[in-house]
Structure 1
Amino acid sequence: MIGPELIQETTEKVRLIQARIKNYADRRRRPLEFMVGDHVFLKVSPTKGVMRFGQTSKLSPRYIGLYEILEQVKEVAYPLALPIDLDKLHNVFHVSMLKKYMPDPSHVIRHEPLQLRNDLTYEEKPIEILDHRQKQLRNKVIPMVKILWANHSSSESTWEVEEQMKSKYPHLFS
């Protein structure tokens, strides 16, 4: 098969794949729309401040606040009424950064002040060392420590290289 027949068949296969991908995406996509006056949580990502392979490793994202939607700018962009301590952030957020609040009279909302960066991340601080272990590689042994991070449960604790943690957080080892 050469020439126009090959091009025709390839074009048909590309159209078929595109149609299947669109159907797959559309079935799993749920439209998320907010009204003016709705209250939402804002997604932020904690960073541990430990560099691995040139990038900062992260813990699970979490939602902060309870902020009111001021208006709808576009289909997927909403400005929020942010508190004064977040006034350095641009107040318009994509719908993917928001989570709708369902009012519940028994719900107690804790407001923990965070020092958010412009990219909606904040540095997590280690609280304590939970465990020690040795990671055996082919030619060497690496001492590791299990760290409990502030604002996270023990199930979200992470294993870190002991040497890096000693240099960055010496108070944990005294």
Structure 2
Amino acid sequence: MRHYANKQHSEREFQVGDWVFLCLQPYRQSSVHHTNCLKLAPQFYGPSQVLARVGKVAYTLDLPPGSRIHPTFHISFLKPKLGSNVAASTALPPLSDTGLVTWTPEKVLQRGMIKKGNSAVTRWLIKWMGLPDHDATLKDAASILDRFPDFNA
């Protein structure tokens, strides 16, 4: 049994100053990420720098000042950053006072029409504030205008 259990085991160790990605589990940490589709939620945030090693398996990270989570994590939540051109989200999602994620649209990158039932629906490719262009999402124009009435498309 030990042989098969150790087959999946990976030795990881980080030094102070190393860059790592932080694995956040949105179904467990609802104060960090709240979305309707957890399957498509980002799993890794960062990169963040290791500030200190706490014991054998815990590390303290240099998180952004707006994050509302404790900066010490078990090694199983960390993934080493490889290479210098990795495109990832550098900021944790913005949170409201109640702990829910508050994304605000910045601009419309593309517009399009799709058929939904017997009617045509306008879809927008929305760039969200604080996120790069490759994290833009397709949303119905009516739902965006309902949620954000002051948004100028």
Q: How many residue pairs align between the two structures?
A: 139
Displacement, 1:83? 6.1
- Deviation string, structure 1 residues 59-105 (Cα, Å, up to 9, x no partner): 574314323133235xxx4130546936852233132432335798x
- Deviation string, structure 1 residues 27-59 (Cα, Å, up to 9, x no partner): 7x6432224x3433342669997x647x69635
Q: With structure 1 as the length reference, what TM-score do the two structures score?
A: 0.53
Q: 1:132 aligns with which of 111, 115, 135?
A: 111
Amino-acid identity (%): 12
Q: Distance in 1 between matches of 2:64 and 2:143?
A: 35
Q: Distance in 2 between matches of 1:65 and 1:116?
A: 19
Which aligned pairs between 1:23-172 and structure 2 lie closer than 5 A?
26=7, 30-35=10-15, 37-43=16-22, 52=36, 58=41, 61-73=44-56, 77-82=57-62, 85=65, 88-100=68-80, 115=94, 123-172=102-151
Residues 1:132 and 1:87: Cα distance change in structure 2 (over 3 Å) = closer
Counterpart amino acid of 1:68?
L
Unaligned runs of 5+ in 2: 27-31, 85-89
1:132·1:144 contact (CA, 8 Å) conserved in 2? yes
Q: Distance in 2 between matches of 1:72 and 1:128?
A: 46
Q: With structure 2 as the length reference, what TM-score do the two structures score?
A: 0.58
Q: CA RMSD in A?
A: 4.5
Counterpart amino acid of 1:153?
P
Which residue is equivalent to 1:6? none
Rg: which structure is higher?
1
Residues 1:59 and 1:168: Cα distance change in structure 2 (over 3 Å) = farther
Q: Distance in 2 between matches of 1:162 and 1:65?
A: 35
